[in-house]
Structure 1
Amino acid sequence: MSLSHALLGLLAVEPRSGYELTKAFAGDLGRYAWQAGHTSIYPELARLAERGLVAVTGEGARGSRTYSVTPEGYAELRSWVLSPPSRGKVRNEEVLRMFLLSALDPADALVVLRRIVEHAAEEGARLRKLVDDAPAAIPAGSAGFGYLAAEFGARQFEAVHGWAQWAIEKLEAAAAEPA
């Protein structure tokens, strides 16, 4: 995944300024999917403009620029979203921590797993409420932006919650077995 594709996607939904893009990354997008700040967003917008993937479509106060995705930018976004995810280098801190749980004392592993249960329950419930409060039909355009991602996230947290409870049961059962 790349910042350029995230920016193209946001701009395909609606034209935005660099400031508005920065605010989008400061919200749920940055919390759950991809973090980026203004120090990386503005240079990437310039690169995208140089490549003809975005264009400045408005200028406002204090040099503010509104960007829109170009047809070439939309084609790039579409190509990226429709292609299979890259299976190159993977860096997932949460999965690495799960690999390393067995290096801890079982009591410490249980502490970690109980935190995961609590966190997954809280975040899953928060996202589930967002989805449940949304209209029955997925709204088109910017109104529906994030709806599918919120449902994905809610289901992901539900799965993590169930997995962590299962792992706790396994560790507790192993601890109860005679040595």
Structure 2
Amino acid sequence: MSLRHGLLGLLAEGPASGYDLAGRFTEVLGSIWPAQHPKIYAELNKLAAEGLVEVESEGPRRRKAYRITDAGVAEVKRWLTEVDVDHTMRLQPLLRSLFFWMMETDELQRHLEAEASYYRELAEQYRDYAARKDRGEFGYSEQTQSMRVTIEAGVRLYSALADWAEWAQTVPPAKQSKQHGEGTGRSGT
């Protein structure tokens, strides 16, 4: 997902300031798709220059509230229906796992335990958020229903990563195999 389409989609729900949009990103996608304030403001300026959003109001300290234009709505719909999905996942924990063989066994065990705990916590936070959505705390609008689908993806993704980190503790290199445990120079066996 591009930041521009994320901002346009959030603005399709209603007018918001850059600050409000950053909060929305953090609320639902913070650990999956972080959006920094300077990038949000820069992108909003580009979107305004392209006529995809416009300033609805300007408040104290020049705080601007933006709203999506018809052209912006058309762009989000085009992106959703015509643009190929980028399935690239840049997960640093998986990149690091390629090099686990370079860690000492006890360090790797501690790392994987921390990873499993971290992912279980995130999955639980998303489960709690999902339960609040299911109880109707945020209403039953189409936006809320779509957000519930996104939250479920977070639950399942983080649960799967926690399962992976727990599994990785039970196999080499985190747990030395009998035939390769001797003479490898690795400690903690």
Whether TM-score is above 0.5 comes out as yes
Question: 2:14 maps to what in 1?
Answer: 14
> How do residues 1-179 of structure 1 correspond to structure 2 at under 5 angstroms?
1-37=1-37, 39-82=38-81, 83-86=83-86, 91-135=90-134, 139-144=140-145, 146-171=147-172, 175=176, 177-179=178-180
**Aligned-pair distance for 1:152?**
0.6
Q: Which residues of structure 1 form unaligned runs of 5+?
A: none
* Alpha-carbon spacing, 1:100–1:79, altered in 2? closer, same or farther (3 Å): farther
Letter in 1 for 2:68: V
**Aligned-pair distance for 1:160?**
1.0
**What SS does the corresponding residue of 1:170 show, helix, strand or coil?**
coil
Q: How many residues align?
A: 177
For 2:91 and 2:120, the matched residues in 1 are separated by: 20
Q: How many percent identity over aligned positions?
A: 29
Letter in 1 for 2:66: Y
8 Å CA contact 1:5–1:77 kept in 2: the answer is yes
8 Å CA contact 1:52–1:72 kept in 2: the answer is yes
| Higher relative helix content | 1
Letter in 2 for 1:47: K
For 1:159 and 1:26, the matched residues in 2 are separated by: 21
Larger radius of gyration: 2
**Aligned-pair distance for 1:77?**
1.6
TM-score w.r.t. length of structure 1: 0.83
Letter in 2 for 1:6: G
Q: Which residues of structure 2 form unaligned runs of 5+?
A: 181-189
**Aligned-pair distance for 1:67?**
0.9
